[in-house]
């Protein structure tokens, strides 16, 4: 939980797509799937040519599946 506080602060201070990616991945680990989906999608939109985008697109689809599962 402390790591999320730190990454939230980084996002607030430095509007960097990398920090959104990091916060999204941390949110997945913490089970905050809606936040994760939002942050990962924002990173992909900002850096569509980044080398990690294909992996993150898979993660995003999995997270979206978790959101749907949690709503049922």
pLDDT at 71: 56
Range of the domain at 62: 2-71
Number of domains the chain contains: 1
In Å, what is the CA distance from 7 to each residue of 21, 24, 27, 67? 10, 10, 10, 22
Mean pLDDT, rounded, for 36-56? 97
pTM of the shown model = 0.88
- Alpha-carbon distance values, 5 to 10, 27, 50, 51, 56 (Å): 9, 11, 26, 27, 22
Of 26, 23, 25, 3, whose CA–CA distance to 11 is shortest?
23
Q: What tens digit of pLDDT does each residue of 1-31 get?
A: 789 999 999 999 998 999 999 999 999 999 9
Q: What is the pLDDT of residue 16?
A: 95
Measured distance CA(11)–CA(27) in Å, rounded:
13
**CATH code where residue 38 lies:** 1.25.40
Running DSSP on this structure, what letter comes out for residue 27?
H
């Amino acid at each position: 939980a402390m790591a999320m506080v730190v990454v939230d602060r980084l996002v607030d201070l430095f509007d960097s797509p990398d920090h959104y990616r990091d916060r999204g991945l941390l949110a997945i680990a913490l089970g905050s799937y809606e936040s994760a989906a939002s942050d990962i999608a924002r990173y992909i939109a900002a850096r569509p040519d980044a080398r990690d985008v294909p992996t993150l697109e898979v993660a995003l689809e999995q997270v979206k599946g978790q959101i749907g599962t949690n709503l049922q």
